[in-house]
């Protein structure tokens, strides 16, 4: 038997690829190799350097070049990635490609890991020339005024800085150099003395050092979670160990980085999507060689090598941005737990609103929960109030009560946020007079409105009904799909408040990289303004003059096709309530609803998120929904509806006798038509994780073999969070 090299290549195929050993040199597991593939070449990762060939070796091609003498990926990452590809039903090569920064996926030697540092030249410091400069150049000169700064640090504060740097190098005002890691650290600044409960949390979690133990740190915004993280990171540093700190996309503000650096006195390696690829690769490599002690990053930073791992923290663990929604659909929080187990280190999941998955693990005794009740950073508590929309005359979905509250707020010279709860919820039909909504009589869950076909469809049992012309409950003709876009809210508020700036903040208005920051900077001033926004505004940003948050679209969270909508709504209310009245002014939150007596809203007002979460978790247990059941969602789309239906029904047949699996569909997706493509889905559910995964791989292979599969785009989503 000839030994061959088994290699993962970045292609969306479930297989690994065998190659003959290279003419020169030898490769180890985890090394990159350059190999011929199709008509071109690819860079792959060696998974097994001495595998038994499955096909005749005569047909195999030879590895062209071994790129790394020592493995780039260590044994832990190799094992974790293989596990992840299997768990999330991904292509192994794509899982590996996700883990490596783009610059390391190219057939080039590794870049140096020294830190690229920029400083003013002598001429730049004398600065007569500098003062006349504008825009990016002025900003860069400004950023370097207090001394040299690392390139990745600059990239974070000034996204377009490289173009400015080129101009200023030509003018002789700035220069680049390489700095050794050891010369950067400063002395750490002391933090506040920890409160009793903070100290207790630190002590409790300190006992987990050196072994695998998940902790949940449960505390509202401002309760001092970050101070607890800092104390734990200090401890890991004192042991000479590395910490990985994951934050949601939106939480990674320059202020966070600065706070960590000043307090810890070490360089914070930041890994996020705005980083230039070269900088990202260097930061990744500094983590791999152990010189990076604290790594802060968003979702994909969960793949950072941690040879001296000591601690993993996932802040805002409930945040949906940890789930990758395309390509390799992994969940960074779940992967963080797998890595912590592999390294035998504690993992801390922090949140004011822990996910029901996490709370389920607390209930089961797998995670230990620590609660911070105090709010050392806040002065005032926020008042939450329900606004009954029934029998109120609405202006673009906003009630007079809401409008009056906004008027009073801007009248005091303060800022109001009108918040649209919208997360691609499927449309639900609602009576705007009595609050009736279309529920499936068989499932007691909302039916989805398919406006084009004038039908209501239950996504659980496929029950179909015609759209009624009048409300079945009060006979009013005032029935329509619930939901108002932010654009229309903006229009209505501008018309009503012509003298107050109305700022809309959503994906569209903040598409430019630094636009969001600029808008927020403008709002820090003590001036009246009205903000209109969606989820982007829910967390992380301190707006001292914001005192009123009004949430419209609460009902979509109460009556949604998506069983997670209630959890999301409760999380949202708590998160936005944390936005209002953060400084010295008291804040208030308005929840505008047609269902003022809804038990969930009352539970939220009375008992807060914890009470709601307990009820929701009981309900999930009763209905056998995640985290008590385990799901995989097959999605498909094509230009023609017929192709989608044909594929999904063959996929259904391919399941065979379902035995104890529960199958819903095939059915149209919540948005059945998007960008001209028809979309459909099939949901498979099992009571145990083992059962689901035993079914999954064979099914996936069967799907790959279906002729109908070639006429659609399809994907599998394990533990989907958007149904």
Residues forming contacts to Zn ion in the complex (CB under 5 A) are 431, 433-434, 436, 440, 442-443, 458, 460-461, 463, 471, 473-474, 476
Based on the shown chain and the rule CB under 6 A, indicate whether residue 227 belongs to the binding site for ligand ADP.
yes
Listed in sequence order, the residues at least 6 apart from 170 whose beta carbon sits closer than 8 Å to its beta carbon are none
Closest approach of Cβ 233 to ligand ADP, in Å? 12
Which residues have C-beta within 8 Å of that of residue 148, sequence separation ≥ 6?
Answer: 117, 118, 119, 177, 179
Residues 375-394 that bind ligand ADP (CB under 6 A): 376-377
Give the span between the Cα atoms of 310 and 392, in whole angstroms: 57
Q: Which of 415, 422, 366, 394 is nearest to 627 (CA)?
A: 366
431 is in an annotated binding site: yes
Q: Which of residues 439-498 bind ligand ADP (CB under 6 A)?
A: none
Give least dist CB 420 to ligand ADP, A: 24
**Contact status: 226 vs ligand ADP (CB under 6 A):** yes
Shortest distance, position 646 Cβ to ligand ADP, whole Å? 51
On the 0-12 / 13-18 / 19+ scale of CB atoms within 10 A, 54 is exposed
Could you give the CA distance from residue 378 to residue 223 in angstroms, rounded to a whole number? Answer: 8
In the complex, what is the shortest distance from the CB of residue 456 to Zn ion, in angstroms, rounded to a whole number? 10
Q: Provide the 3-class DSSP secondary structure of residue 530.
A: strand
Stretch that binds ligand ADP, among 20-28, 216-224, 516-524, 600-608 (CB under 6 A): 216-224
Taking alpha carbons only, the member of 176, 179, 204 closest to residue 267 is 179
- Residue 606 to residues 489, 566, 630, 661, Cα–Cα distance (Å): 30, 16, 31, 38
375 versus 422: smaller Cβ distance to ligand ADP: 375
Residue 192 binds ligand ADP, judged by CB under 6 A: yes
In the complex, the smallest distance separating the C-beta of residue 195 from ligand ADP, rounded to whole angstroms, is 4
Of residues 304 through 363, those in contact with ligand ADP by CB under 6 A are: none
Cβ 299 to ligand ADP shortest distance, Å: 20
**Is 505 strand, coil or helix?**
strand
Closest approach of Cβ 476 to Zn ion, in Å? 5
Alpha carbons 33 and 31: distance in angstroms, whole number: 7
Nearer to ligand ADP, 256 or 593 (CB): 256
Query: Interface with ligand ADP by CB under 6 A: which range of 123-131, 165-173, 215-223, 452-460?
Result: 215-223
SS3 content of the chain, % helix, strand, coil (to 5): 35, 25, 40
Residues in a beta bridge with 549: 417, 589
When the beta carbons of 1 and 466 are compared against Zn ion, the nearer one is 466
Distance CA 626, CA 492 (A): 39
Closest approach of Zn ion to the CB of residue 377, in Å: 45
**Looking at 222, 435, 566, 581, which residue binds ligand ADP (CB under 6 A)?**
222
Which of 233, 601 has the CB closer to ligand ADP? Answer: 233
Closer CB to Zn ion, 86 or 433, in the complex: 433
Task: Tell which positions 676-715 bind ligand ADP, by CB under 6 A.
Answer: none
Partner from Zn ion, ligand ADP, none contacting 222, C-beta within 5 to 8 A by type? ligand ADP
Q: Tokens in use for 394?
A: 């609405």
Structure tokens at 191: 């933090």
Q: How many residues bind ligand ADP (CB under 6 A)?
A: 15
- Known binding residue 409? Answer is no
Closer of 160 and 433 to Zn ion (Cβ): 433
Q: In what order do the strands lie in the sheet with 529-533?
A: 383-388, 588-593, 546-552, 415-420, 529-533, 502-505
User: Helix 92-99 and helix 75-87: axis angle, to 10°?
Assistant: 130
Q: Which does 506 bind (CB under 5 to 8 A by kind): Zn ion, ligand ADP, none?
A: none
**Between 227 and 279, CB nearer to ligand ADP:** 227
Q: Does 219 bind ligand ADP (CB under 6 A)?
A: yes
Residue 677's H or E segment, with its range, is strand 677-686
524 φ/ψ angles, rounded to the nearest 5 degrees: -75, -15
The least distance separating ligand ADP from the CB of residue 705, rounded to whole angstroms, comes to 50
Among 224-232, 518-526, 530-538, 642-650, which window interacts with ligand ADP (CB under 6 A)? 224-232
Surface-to-core class of residue 622, CB atoms within 10 Å of its CB (0-12 exposed, 13-18 middle, 19+ buried): exposed
458 binds, among ligand ADP, Zn ion, none (CB under 5 to 8 A by kind): Zn ion
CA distance 367 to 216: 7
Question: Could you tell me the CA-to-CA distances from 415 to 230, 387, 498, 520, 533 in Å, in that order?
Answer: 32, 19, 15, 12, 13
Which partner, Zn ion, ligand ADP, none, binds residue 441 by CB below 5 to 8 Å per kind? Answer: none
Three-state helix/strand/coil letters over 376-407 = CCCCCCCEEEEEECCCCCCECCECHHHHHHHH
Q: Is 225 in the site for ligand ADP (CB under 6 A)?
A: yes
Q: What is the pattern of x (binds ligand ADP, CB under 6 A) and - over residues 23-62?
A: ----------------------------------------
Closer CB to ligand ADP, residue 193 or residue 238?
A: 193
Rounded to whole angstroms, the Cα distance separating 198 from 373 reads 10
Residues 6 or more apart whose CB falls under 8 angstroms from that of 651 comprise 634, 636, 666, 682, 703, 706
255 binds ligand ADP (CB under 6 A): no
For the CB of residue 193, give the shortest distance to ligand ADP in the complex, in Å: 6
Radius of gyration for the alpha carbons in the chain, expressed in angstroms and rounded: 27
Please identify which residue in 63, 150, 154, 194 interacts with ligand ADP, judged by CB under 6 A: 194
Read off the DSSP letter of residue 711. G
Q: Which residues bind ligand ADP (CB under 6 A)?
A: 192-195, 198, 219, 221-227, 376-377
Binding region for Zn(2+): 431, 434, 440, 443, 458, 461, 471, 474
Binding region: 431, 434, 440, 443, 458, 461, 471, 474
């Amino acid at each position: 038997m000839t030994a061959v090299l088994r290699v993962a290549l970045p292609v969306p195929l479930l297989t690994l690829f065998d190659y003959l050993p290279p003419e020169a040199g030898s490769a180890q597991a985890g090394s990159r190799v350059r190999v011929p593939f199709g008509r071109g070449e690819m860079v792959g990762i060696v998974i097994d350097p001495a595998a038994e060939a499955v096909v005749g070796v005569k047909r195999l091609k030879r590895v062209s070049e071994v790129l790394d003498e020592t493995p780039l990926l260590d044994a832990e990452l190799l094992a974790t990635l293989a596990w992840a590809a299997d768990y999330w039903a991904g292509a192994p090569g794509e899982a590996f490609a996700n883990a490596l920064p783009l610059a390391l996926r190219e057939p080039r030697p590794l870049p140096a890991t020294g830190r690229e540092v920029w400083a003013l030249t002598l001429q730049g410091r004398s600065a007569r020339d500098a003062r006349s400069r504008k825009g990016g150049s002025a900003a860069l000169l400004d950023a370097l005024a207090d001394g040299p700064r690392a390139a990745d640090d600059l990239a974070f504060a000034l996204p377009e800085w490289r173009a400015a740097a080129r101009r200023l190098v030509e003018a002789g005002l700035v220069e680049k150099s390489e700095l050794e890691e050891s010369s950067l650290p400063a002395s750490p600044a002391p933090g506040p003395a920890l409160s009793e409960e903070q100290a207790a949390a630190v002590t409790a979690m300190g006992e987990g050092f050196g072994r695998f133990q998940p902790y949940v740190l449960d505390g509202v915004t401002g309760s001092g979670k970050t101070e607890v993280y800092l104390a734990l990171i200090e401890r890991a540093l004192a042991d000479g160990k590395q910490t990985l700190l994951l934050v949601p996309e939106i939480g990674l503000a320059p202020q966070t980085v600065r706070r960590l650096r000043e307090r810890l006195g070490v360089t914070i390696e930041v890994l996020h999507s705005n980083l230039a690829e070269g900088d990202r690769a260097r930061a990744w490599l500094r983590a791999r060689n152990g010189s990076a002690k604290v790594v802060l990053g968003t979702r994909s930073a969960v793949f950072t090598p941690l040879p001296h791992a000591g601690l993993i923290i996932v802040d805002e663990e409930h945040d949906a941005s940890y789930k990758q929604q395309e390509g390799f659909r992994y969940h960074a929080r779940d992967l963080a737990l797998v890595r912590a187990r592999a390294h035998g280190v504690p993992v801390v999941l922090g949140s004011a609103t822990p996910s029901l998955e996490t709370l389920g693990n607390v209930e089961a005794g797998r995670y230990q929960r620590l609660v911070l009740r105090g709010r050392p950073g806040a002065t005032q508590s926020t008042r939450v109030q329900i606004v009954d929309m029934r029998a109120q005359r609405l202006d673009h979905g906003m009630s007079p009560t809401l409008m009056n509250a906004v008027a009073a707020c801007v009248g005091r010279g303060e800022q109001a946020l009108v918040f649209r709860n919208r997360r691609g919820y499927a449309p639900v039909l609602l009576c705007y007079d009595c609050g009736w909504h279309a529920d499936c009589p068989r499932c007691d869950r909302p039916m989805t409105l398919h406006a084009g076909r004038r039908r209501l469809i239950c996504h659980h049992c496929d029950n179909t009904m015609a759209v009624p012309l009048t409300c079945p409950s009060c006979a009013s003709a005032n029935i329509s799909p619930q939901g108002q876009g932010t654009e229309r809210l903006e229009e209505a508020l501008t018309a009503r408040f012509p003298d107050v700036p109305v700022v809309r903040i959503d994906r569209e208005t903040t598409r430019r990289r630094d636009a969001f920051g600029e808008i927020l900077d403008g709002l820090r001033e003590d001036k009246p303004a009205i903000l209109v926004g969606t989820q982007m505004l829910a967390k992380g940003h301190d707006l001292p003059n914001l005192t009123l948050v009004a949430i419209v679209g609460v009902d979509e969270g109460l009556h949604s096709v998506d069983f997670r909508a209630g959890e999301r709504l409760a999380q949202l209310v708590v998160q936005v309530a944390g936005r209002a009245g953060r400084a010295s002014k008291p804040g208030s939150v308005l929840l505008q609803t047609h269902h003022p007596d809804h038990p969930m809203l009352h539970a939220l007002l009375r008992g807060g998120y914890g009470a709601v979460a307990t009820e929701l978790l009981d309900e999930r247990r009763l209905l056998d929904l995640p985290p008590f059941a385990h799901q995989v969602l097959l999605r498909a789309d094509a230009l023609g509806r017929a192709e989608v239906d044909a594929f999904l029904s063959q996929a259904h047949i391919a399941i065979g006798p379902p035995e104890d699996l529960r199958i819903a569909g095939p059915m149209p997706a919540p948005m059945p038509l998007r960008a001209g493509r028809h979309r459909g889905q099939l949901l498979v559910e099992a009571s145990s994780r083992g059962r689901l995964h035993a079914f999954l791989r064979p099914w996936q292979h069967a799907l790959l073999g279906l002729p109908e599969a070639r006429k659609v785009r399809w994907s599998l989503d394990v533990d989907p969070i958007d149904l």
